[in-house]
Amino acid sequence: MRSKFDQELERLNEELIEMGNLIESRIEAAVSALVNQDVELATRVANGDKEVNDKERDIEDLCLKLILQQQPVARDLRLISSALKMITDMERIGDQAADISELTIRMANEKYFKELIDIPQMAEATIYMVRESINAFVNRDVDKAVEIIYYDDKVDKLFDMVKNELIEYIRDQKYSSEQSVDFILIAKYFERIGDHAQNIAEWVYYAITGEHFSWS
Amino acid sequence: MRSKFDQELERLNEELIEMGNLIESRIEAAVSALVNQDVELATRVANGDKEVNDKERDIEDLCLKLILQQQPVARDLRLISSALKMITDMERIGDQAADISELTIRMANEKYFKELIDIPQMAEATIYMVRESINAFVNRDVDKAVEIIYYDDKVDKLFDMVKNELIEYIRDQKYSSEQSVDFILIAKYFERIGDHAQNIAEWVYYAITGEHFSWS
């Protein structure tokens, strides 16, 4: 009985890693389409989160099966209920990638007024957060979870930088204000991705420690 | 057999109306919390889309059961598969309401630099769109669906007005640019709600006519 349960928990780990990979790919594709003004790729990201939704459904089914059949308690129950929370945040990240790509499509025929530097850094930071928070879950690594919770500061700071720079552009009237607003919106979506990745890490923290993370 | 199926389709209608009511309530609560700077209400909206998710799950289960047990064809199959698409857009609207409320919470201690007029109008328009697109589904009313598809223009125009006004504010430096940006983000979330409501109406059009709506 116990061994079957451990096998199923192992499958849960694998499914979460797969869903994490799908999410990372969506963030990567969204930022690549944005930087390269690649409408075809953006269209795929904007339309296609069926894979993510299907994976979310599979994991939910697996979690509910585990809860019903094995009636786990204490930490095992926490692991499963945290996984259910984690996938909700992962799915929301997939949605934000779609939102970014819709703006990419709309901006496809405009020349960007400068090379994008900070926004790709935001994307990179959030990809790291998603991957490492899932690794923290799989390895029951509470220190890593805490690192990722704090890592979101980096994304928030990047967002503030981008926002303030774009506010200056709007004031100067040197560049298109429309485009500045679009980039503020895009940066905001990446900032939200960071928030959801931070949520994932907080669920990992809870799964392992049994306590909700509190800022010290 | 047929009569049982009709009963189940009737239940699908009722469930969709209930989910629509939940979504409308979330938009109403989000805009009310925003206008009145009601942090308690905003917190409830930001945290609470469990009801919506549960309802989405119920409807999905019902749809899948109908497809598996009754093996519907043609229009009946289209009705059910359209319902599955509609609830995805409804769920996304619930998410946007949460995003709005998170900004409301962050702005809770700032005095707004002017009375909000256009944003509540955006909210009102999207609530109308959600309600009437679901009514169009229930009543198989293709004219109503088309009306709602075009109605989104109103939301888009309001968004452009709000955005342009706020861009002027940022240029003038008369008011806080931070607050202007926050209101642009909030207006954008309402505009996205309009997009999803329009999607719902397009699914209704498809369910009834068997053709995807094309702009003329």
Q: Which long-range contacts (CB under 8 A, 24 or more apart) does A176-182 make?
A: A176/A110, A176/A113, A177/B167, A177/B170, A177/B171, A179/A107, A179/A110, A179/A112, A179/A113, A181/B163, A181/B167, A181/B184, A182/A103, A182/A106, A182/A107
Q: Specify if A31 maps to a domain.
A: yes
Measured CA to CA, the distance from residue A22 to residue A26 in angstroms comes to 6
Q: Specify if B173 maps to a domain.
A: yes
Measured CA to CA, the distance from residue B83 to residue B62 in angstroms comes to 10
Q: At what angle do helices A142-172 and B142-172 cross, to 10 degrees?
A: 70
Report chain A residues whose CB lies below 8 A from the CB of B167. Answer: 170, 177, 181
Q: Is A176 near chain B, with CB under 8 Å?
A: no
Q: Specify if B216 maps to a domain.
A: no
- Substitution target in A53, A99, A106, A202 with the highest count of B β-carbons within 10 Å is A99
Q: Is A99 near chain B, with CB under 8 Å?
A: yes
Interchain CB contacts (distance < 8 Å): A and B:
33
What are the C-alpha distances in Å from B125 to residues B23, B24, B103, B148, B154? 13, 11, 21, 10, 8
Contact A18, A67 (CB under 8 A): no
Has residue A2 got a pLDDT over 80?
A: no
Provide the 3-class DSSP secondary structure of residue B186. Answer: helix
Measured CA to CA, the distance from residue B19 to residue B186 in angstroms comes to 23
- The token pair at A55 is 């994976």
* Residue indicated by tokens 């894979």: A51
Q: Specify if A214 maps to a domain.
A: no
The number of distinct structural domains making up chain B is 1
Q: Specify if A215 maps to a domain.
A: no
Which residues of A, range 16-45, sit inside 8 Å of B by Cβ?
none
Contact B16, B134 (CB under 8 A): yes
Domain that holds residue A123: 2-209
- Substitution target in A159, A166, A170 with the highest count of B β-carbons within 10 Å is A170
User: Average pLDDT, whole number, for chain B?
Assistant: 93
Check residue A112 and report its DSSP letter. Answer: P
Q: Pick from A102, A88, A92: which is nearest to A33 by CA?
A: A102
Q: Checking phi first, is residue B210 left (phi over 0); if not, alpha (psi -120 to 50) or beta?
A: left
Has residue B170 got a pLDDT over 60?
A: yes
Contact B96, A99 (CB under 8 A): no
**What ipTM did this prediction achieve?**
0.80
Of A18-27, A48-57, A127-136, B202-211, the range with the lowest mean pLDDT is A48-57
Contact B147, B125 (CB under 8 A): no
Q: Specify if B135 maps to a domain.
A: yes
Confidence of residue A1 (pLDDT cuts 50, 70, 90): low
Q: Specify if B215 maps to a domain.
A: no
CATH of the domain at A126: 1.20.58.220
Measured CA to CA, the distance from residue A154 to residue A68 in angstroms comes to 40
DSSP characters for A124-159? HHHHHHHHHHHHHHHTT-HHHHHHHHHHHHHHHHHH
Residues 6+ apart with CB under 8 A from B48: none
Residues 6+ apart with CB under 8 A from A177: A169, A170, B167, B170, B171
A169-204 pLDDT, tens digit per residue, is 999 888 889 999 999 999 999 999 999 999 999 999
Q: Specify if A161 maps to a domain.
A: yes
Q: Is B173 near chain A, with CB under 8 Å?
A: yes
Q: How many CA atoms lie within 13 A of B122 on its CB side?
A: 31
B110-159 pLDDT, tens digit per residue, is 999 889 999 999 999 999 999 999 999 999 999 999 999 999 999 999 99
Provide the 3-class DSSP secondary structure of residue A37. Answer: coil
Distance from CA of A79 to the nearest CA of B (A): 20
Q: Pick from B200, B186, B204: which is nearest to B23 by CA?
A: B200
